[in-house]
Amino acid sequence: MIIAVDGPAASGKGTIAKALARHYGLPHLDTGLLYRAVGMAVLRSGGDPADEGDAFQACAFDDGLLDDSVLKSEAAGRAASIVSAHPSVRAALLERQRDFARQPGGAVLDGRDIGTVIAPEAQAKLFVTATPAVRAQRRFDELVRMGLAVTYAHVLGDIQARDERDSGRGIAPLKQADDAVLLDTSDLGVAAAVAAAIVLVERTR
């Protein structure tokens, strides 16, 4: 079974995708990490994430970067959302994600275009969302726990800018697939959100 979990930044889709993977015994891929790695590789090479040539070159990043906690930073998230609008970057990362989705037995993937582009054939599709204020608070708390000096206002601004870029881009924009089920976690804690996700997967698969 392929389970596609899409949604905006800090909506909790990664938390839900990981829990679904555990519940169904499936491998999980956080596809945002791939774009974060490209964004961070551009920054480290002194390139410009907005330059398609620089971003495409960075797609040959070393896989060791995927385990680096620097990918959790706001700078990596911002760079990721800029490089992800380049068609050549999306093309370079496409097969890796499709191969992961189509492995025998299935998989859980979370991102922005899993249900629409990477695995439109997925048996279960969730679109996880929450209000920008709730998402900003969750991300702010997470960054503070990591010991980073951030303000709530800055995190909220970053999330709003990312929402706009991700939904407004010309290629594979963030949007709910026609056959995806909406899960709004604004008023749900982690356990309740995961339980709701399992019910929805059981209902749709």
Ligand X SMILES: Nc1ncnc2c1ncn2[C@@H]1O[C@H](COP(=O)(O)OP(=O)(O)OP(=O)(O)O)[C@@H](O)[C@H]1O
Rounded to a whole number of angstroms, the minimum distance from the CB of residue 104 to ligand X is: 26
Site string for ligand X, 182-201 (x = CB under 6 A): ---x--xxx--x--------
Annotated binding residue 177: no
Smallest separation (angstroms) from ligand X to the CB of 193: 4
Q: Which residues bind ligand L45E5XJ5 (CB under 6 A)?
A: 9, 31-32, 35-36, 77, 80-81, 84, 111-113, 162, 166
Does residue 185 have a known ligand-binding role?
no
Query: Binders of ligand X among 116-135, rule CB under 6 A?
Result: none
Q: How many residues bind ligand X (CB under 6 A)?
A: 17
Nearest to 128 by CA among 56, 69, 186, 58: 186
Question: What are the DSSP calls for 11-60, one per residue?
Answer: SSHHHHHHHHHHHHT--EEETHHHHHHHHHHHHHTT--TT-HHHHHHGGG
Burial 7-45 (b: 16+ CB within 10 A, else e): bbbbbbbbbbbbbbbeebebebbbbbbbbbbbbbbbbee
Q: Do the annotations mark residue 15 as ligand-binding?
A: yes
Binding region for ligand X (CB under 6 A): 7, 9-15, 32, 138-139, 142, 185, 188-190, 193
